[in-house]
Structure 1
Amino acid sequence: MGANGHPHVMAYYFKQWLGFEMPFHRHDATEIMYTIQGYCEIEIQSQPSHTEKVALKKGEFIIINANVAHRLLVDEANPCRMLNVEFRFIPNKGVFPSIQQLAAEDDLLFALLASEAPYLVLRDGDEVYHIMKSLVLELDKAANKSDLMVQLLITQLLIRIARVWRETVNSGEAQSERYVKISMEYLHQNYDRDIQVKDIAGAVNLHPGYLQRIFKSLTGQTLMAYLTGIRMEKAKMLLLETDVPISDICDYIGVGSRQYFHMLFKDYTGLTPTDFRKSMYAEKRNYPERS
């Protein structure tokens, strides 16, 4: 967030949006967009050639870093009520500790301020909303507002967001492990079928691209590489322990093409299926079972 000094609120408002397409824009303030009711989408252009779309439902909010291009999209059939707060950091004034001093005493706040992510999407348990609302009501007092109260509230807001972020990360890591485990079980149970990534993603109710990312992150393999490993190990077992004809083994392991099976097997073992079976038979003859 480029935190330096005190957080200072530049703009804030409640707004009911309906059938609205905001043009891409950027500003030198960090923006928090909180969905109070309804549904909306935010498009983020973190790089000139890269645009991402984020959906926000009731109780969800997004923090967009300063100078990141973005725009709001609201469908006519789905109105959206939001609370927005924009702030940036200004030089210290008064006796209230700087954000750096506070972050030095709170590891989660420090991590949030140090994050270089262009945006974060989080789900609230109402605490963030209540702090934002209290901040806006205090700012609305104009001449009667307390600068100290404003600093306390915006600092409390950032600390609370930092905690929500950490809880989300921790929960996401545990959930990712669960999705990967279910995906592995699905592959072990269905390797004999024609499987595509979308089928695995459907089994765990995730977007295929997201499942691919978390699977690769946690296992070091792609989904299809993991599936190929299962199939090749099953093929090795069939070649070694059964008399199933090599020409039929591809059907047992879900590889439709015999030529493709031979290519995969040689890449995996360094041997053709025929050579593998012969070598295994030779080993059995050389090492007879003891009675």
Structure 2
Amino acid sequence: MSERSGSLFQQALINGDYSPRFFAYYYKQWNNYKMQYHHHNSTEIMYLISGSCIVDVRQAKGSAESYSMKRGELIILDANVPHRLIVEEGTPCRMLNVEFGFTEYKGVAPSVGRLAREERVVEKLLDTPFSSLILPDPEEVYHVLKSLVLELDQRGADGGSMIDLLFCEMLLRIARLKEEKLRSSQQSTEFYVRRSIEFLHQNYDRSIQVKDIASAVSLHPGYLHRIFKIHTGRTITDYLNILRMEKSKMLLAKSDIPVAEIADYVGVSSRQYFHLLFKKYTGLTPVEYRNSIERHSWIYEDGESGNLGEDI
């Protein structure tokens, strides 16, 4: 790895031993400013101390992502990622910027690799590439950044043990914030998937489509489809079909509803399609299934008994 190689995502950082090298660190007040797209061979952290701004990030395929940032948020930009800052008139913002890369280990504080090997969240951060990442910060990273920049101002970019120690703390806190954001996002998606499943269990007897479920939980159908598959391992359609077939098995076993009417009870409009589905999921036709199970009997008050009907 060259001395000026500034990307966070180099396997050498995890496997080897490297220390941070700082290229720029400064506070800046921005107002009514539109920066041109640019990039540099260093990782950049932009911390929004006050106000609001927009950061545009150009992706590898040429498309751009626009991020609206507010006070207490930071954005991490990997090396050589084109980006620009936009600050609207009347909404000034104040930032703290730090740009860094990596150099051969100086043997003062723990190397980046040693930190990654001892802290799983740091290893995961360095082993999961991104072009940009926005994180909310409860001022944990900000306090470390302030101390780091003050130390750099006093000692210079080639600083000493305190600079390296503060960098390690900053990296660890960023890694933990990223992990917390991921967990929060997963908990949020789990909530929507749970609500979707509840909707299916309450409406399987009707003709429903993915767009109906998405509308009920206030999500885009495509996004709901993706998170549902991630959390359940099944598509929404497959989950609904299994649910309907389980209900069908219960009705065939526990009721005297005619087989020909079961499809309507579970929301399948075509009886022919219902038979095909049931055979696919159980290996039996509905009639074969009803005939294969132990039938329940009703005991009447006068002592007579009667088997459930075999209507079709």
TM-score, normalization by structure 2: 0.69
Pairs within 5 Å for 1:29-178: 29-48=42-61, 51-74=64-87, 80-93=93-106, 95-141=108-154, 146-178=159-191
Give the drift of 1:181.
Answer: 2.2
2:242 equivalent among 229, 238, 259: 229
Amino acid at match of 2:242: G
CA distance in 1, matches of 2:150, 2:51: 22
Cα distance, 1:89 vs. partner?
Answer: 0.6
What amino acid does structure 1 have at the position aligned with 2:72?
Answer: G
Report how far residue 35 of structure 1 moved: 2.8
Extract unaligned runs of 5+ from structure 1. Answer: none
Partner in structure 2 of residue 266 of structure 1:
276
Aligned partners of 2:279, 2:62: CA distance in 1, in Å? 41
- CA shift, 1:158, in A, is 0.9
Q: Deviations over 1:235-277 (max 9, x none)?
A: 5656774647958955x5556xx45x75476246349xxx944
- The alpha-carbon distance between structure 1 residues 56 and 248, as it changes in their structure 2 partners (threshold 3 A), is farther
What residue identity is the alignment partner of 1:7?
P
Deviations 1:105-127 (A, max 9, x none): 33333332333233333221111
Is the 2:252–2:286 Cα contact (8 Å) retained in structure 1? Answer: yes
User: Following the alignment from structure 2 to structure 1, what is the Cα–Cα distance between the partners of residues 30 and 273?
Assistant: 57
Aligned CA distance change for structure 1 residues 262 and 58 (closer, same or farther; 3 Å)? farther
**Structure 2, gaps ≥5 residues long:** 1-7, 298-304, 306-312
- Which has the larger Rg? 2
Using the size of structure 1 for normalisation, the TM-score is 0.73
| Equivalent AA in structure 2 for residue 113 of structure 1 | L
Match of 1:216, as an amino acid?
K
The structural deviation recorded for 1:12 is 2.8
Q: Partner of 2:225 in structure 1?
A: 212
What secondary structure sits across from 2:118 in the alignment? Answer: coil
Answer with 152-161 or 47-56: which moved more. Answer: 47-56
The CA RMSD measured in Å over matched residues stands at 3.9
Q: How many residues get paired?
A: 282
**Counterpart AA for 1:269:** K
Q: What code does the residue aligned with 2:204 have?
A: Y
Pick one of 21, 36, 39 that aligns with 1:26: 39
SS at match of 1:47: coil
Correspondence for 1:7:
20
User: What is the Cα deviation at residue 220 of structure 1?
Assistant: 0.9
Q: Give the counterpart letter for 1:82 in structure 2.
A: M
Paired residues for 1:269-288 under 5 Å: 269-270=279-280, 276-280=285-289, 282-283=291-292
Q: Distance in 2 between matches of 1:107 and 1:196?
A: 42
1:119-146 deviation per Cα after TM superposition (whole angstroms, max 9, x unaligned): 3332211111111122223333476995
Aligned residues with identical type, % of pairs: 44
